[in-house]
Every structure is written in structure tokens, then in C-alpha cells.
Structure 1
């Protein structure tokens, strides 16, 4: 079973509900997401930048995220809207020199590994626990492990 981004965040029930029902608007800025709360009379006064790292909203410029321990509603709003989070993560991947995953007929991403032999720059043997080196990930010879795979 795949872990959901919301499972990775510490969040109260109240904030989770607000993230679901408030009228948020999203704008992708590089690999970050601008979140505007259109539920307010002046939405431009309620606009914050959510930072995405490793496919998870980790930071927000809002006062609540700075002052409270749990994730703010803006981070949760991004986490529960998987297409927004996936797009931000894809932009990060492409900006870092990665390649876009191929999509099958259903629109699902399909990881296709190159059949070419490992590069001369391969350093996989030097890394612990079958973790792939960057050259193998970059060239598509090995997939990048997910967060849950790394923690095992």
C-alpha cells in the first residue's frame, strides 16, 4: 500500500477539515506552490508559499505554520490535492535533471528503466543497502527509492 502525503504530516482534525472545505486556489511557482484562500473577502491578503521537498509539503510562509507545531491548512490543502503535489514534484525532478516518467493509457506514471548496461560512472557498489547511485538514477538504470523504502 502506498503512503499518502497526509499520513506524513502531523495535523489536527480541525485543520484537516478546513483544508478540505475552504476555497483554495493554487499556482505552481518553480517547485513551490502559492496557495490563495479565496474564502476570504480579500484573498490576496491570504496568499502563502508552500515549499515541497521529497513530494511532501514541508513549509509554509503563513503565521500558523511558523507559530504552531502541526502542519498548517495550506500545507494540508496541497497534500490532499495529489495532482498539485505530483506536478510540483515533477517540476522539481525535471529541474534537477531527471526525466518525466512515461504514462500508460490510464494516465498512471509508469517507471521504465533503460536496458543499457550500467555506466562507467556507476558507484552503486559503494553504497549501502542496494541504494542506487545518482548516475544510475539519472540515466534510468535504477529507480529512486521512495521515502518508505529508504526507512526500512
Structure 2
């Protein structure tokens, strides 16, 4: 079964993607949502929102930007980047969450050496587990002269 990376299922601007990566987010798992606090602000309690998770994707956020602008807000993208958060929201009892985003071998839903496509890899960028084990290489970003 091939699943698309959550980032490939969301539409968002480059600016939102960058902010989702570098801002100091804190996450709290709730029953059907994830609470996201942006600790980059001096008053993080005023920058706390809830993101609803539906079908393994961050679907809606209570922040003003998610309603006001096209595409996903930085809180939804921040969750999609951190796949263990989504995994924790949908995991089975016997599937441990891998905190570093790596692969857990030998559990339900895990990847084996025989798998052709990794569920964690993006089309143009491999996951750490595939790089570490030699299944894929990091892209070469050097320009030929």
C-alpha cells in the first residue's frame, strides 16, 4: 500500500512552509486534535491553537490565518512535517511511535527491506532511515560548472 506524505496532500506557500519548520512549536495530543503552541512569541499562551486531525491529516486549525487565507496554515504544516505526531493520533496499540521519525521494524504497518517505496520518503527527498541504510542517497544540490 502506497501512501502519500502528508505534506504532499496539503497546499501551502513557501513562506508558510519555512515558518512551520523554524518557529518553536510545542505540541499536545488531545482526543481528536493536536494543540499547537508557538513558543517563538513572548506570550505563547496567546498563540495556542487546536488542529483537527481527519484521516491522518491536519484538516482544520482554530487560528485566524487558516480561515482567512488560501491553503494550510503554518500550524497544520508544522504537524504534517512531524509525522510521528500524526502517527501517534492514529496508531494501533502495538505500534510504538518513533520519536525521531525513523522506521520501526517488525511492527504492524512498518516497512521491510523488500518494500519498493518508503512511506516516509518524499518524491525528491529521502527519509533518514533510507539514507542511513543505503537504500537512497541525499540529492546532490551542487551545481555543475
Q: Are residues 1:100 and 2:93 paired? A: yes
Partner of 1:110: 108
2: CA distance, partners of 1:66 / 1:86: 25
TM-score, with length taken from structure 2: 0.65
Point out the structure with max Rg over C-alpha. Answer: 1
RMSD over aligned CA atoms reads: 1.9
TM-score, with length taken from structure 1: 0.62
Structure 1 unaligned blocks of 5 or more? 91-98, 112-152
Higher helix share: 1
Structure 2 residue matching 1:107: 3-state secondary structure: coil
2: CA distance, partners of 1:61 / 1:74: 10
Question: 1:3-152 residue pairs with structure 2 within 5 A?
Answer: 3-90=4-91, 99-102=92-95, 107-108=104-105, 109-111=107-109
Does the 8 Å CA contact 1:31/1:89 hold for their aligned counterparts?
Answer: no
Structure 2 unaligned blocks of 5 or more? 97-102, 110-145
